[in-house]
Amino acid sequence: MLSFVAPVDARRLALVIGNDSYQHADPLTNARADASAVADALKATDFKVTLRQDLTQQAMKAAIRTFKNDVAGGDEVIFYYAGHGVQLEGNNYMIPVDTAGENPDQLKDDSISLQRVLDDMQDQKARFTLAIIDACRDNPFKSNGRALRTRGLAPVMAADGQAVLYSAGAGQEALDNLGPRDKDPNGVFTRVLIKEMKTPGLSFDQVIHDVRNQVVQLARSVDHSQTPGYYSQFTGDFYFIPPRASQTPAATMAATGSQPASSDPKQIELAYWESIKDSRDAADFQDYLKKYPRGEFAGLAANRAKSASSLQHPPPKPAAAATPVTSPLPAAPKKQWGARCDSILESAQLGETLNEEQRAYIRQNCQ
């Protein structure tokens, strides 16, 4: 894969849409919350974000048209949509809140084609375009007795420099939650995506890999099949939160006579641990153990993975359905995980060099 550094003048632009309040289709409960959470996460990664919610056909077309006009050559672009979506005759459509959907022809005319968005970004010569579509749901008009032959979204062929990430694969449905006791305001795919987007220095390919793996595991925990679909023609590198400048330039190393603080494997490990330590998903701790089988927190990670797994897969009980990640993991004793532990790990995450006393403190008191 080519190593890539974005041009200095490249802008980061995002259009985020969430539709919940459908007038003729089944209403949704997570789409606006998902869109708002993604918008906040993108703002934190230096994207200029346009957030729109509950858009009619006219308003949705206007938002996409305005966004297209704002994109220029070389820009990095993210388009996120949460709401109802269907495939008809191999094409994917995002459904505005006022679409009636009386028949397939009307649905195609009154909805927004995903291909239109991709073509618009190609026309504007965006350097990188990522379309994230959390719309892999079953027939949205079934409660109104309309037997449209729709399920999931179809695969797509992205143009050069483009990638498309679906919350579920072709023919699958995306989970809004993990059961009646799951109080997370965001859908399963989006909650995982946001967490991975916020991990500093994680490449785009690694984000996609981790998101897909974690969603698969969470879906399996409730006997559901959901594998986020991913289609890409992007051959460079992209970071939601790029590595710190001091991590890569040789000039910095020459000037300081030593490795940049952020490239210290121990600090990278600490930053990774900080990003997952509060997780309730056993897969997070299992991934840590794969990366760092003899790491500083290997023992703690193994214990938390075991605890999280027992919450996700409790022993069978008559007439009781397992609802994973609904109860928090047992809190670490305050005497072992105090404010200083958080402070030291935060420093490591920001790229500061830890001294021996701080590392010793972590090993002795923060596990």
DSSP 14: E
d(C-alpha 78, C-alpha 141), whole Å: 29
* Contact between residue 90 and residue 104 where contact means Cβ atoms under 8 Å apart: no
As to burial, measured by CB atoms within 10 angstroms (0-12 exposed, 13-18 middle, 19+ buried), residue 116 is: middle
Identify the CA nearest to 153 among candidates 163, 138, 141, 131.
138
- Other Cβ atoms less than 10 A from the Cβ of 150: the count is 22
Q: Could you give the count of Cα atoms lying within 13 Å of 136 in the half-sphere of its Cβ?
A: 27
What are the start and end residues of each CATH 3.40.50.1460 domain in the chain?
12-232
Give the list of residues 6+ apart from residue 278 with CB closer than 8 angstroms, or none: none
Higher pLDDT, 350 or 274: 274
How many helices and strands in the chain, by DSSP H and E? 12, 8
What pLDDT does 3 receive?
38
pLDDT digits (tens, 9 = 90+) for 249-299: 343 333 333 333 334 566 667 767 777 777 878 888 888 888 888 888 888
pLDDT digits (tens, 9 = 90+) for 52-65: 999 999 999 999 99
pTM of the entire predicted model: 0.65
Q: 12-232: which CATH topology?
A: Rossmann fold (3.40.50)
d(C-alpha 267, C-alpha 201), whole Å: 12
Identify the CA nearest to 287 among candidates 360, 349, 196, 354.
196
State the average pLDDT over residues 165-175: 85
pLDDT digits (tens, 9 = 90+) for 191-240: 999 999 998 888 888 999 999 999 999 999 999 999 998 988 998 889 99
CA 243 to the chain's CA centroid: 18
State the average pLDDT over residues 127-142: 79
* Per-residue pLDDT at 121 exceeds 90: yes
What pLDDT does 172 receive?
82
d(C-alpha 89, C-alpha 113), whole Å: 12
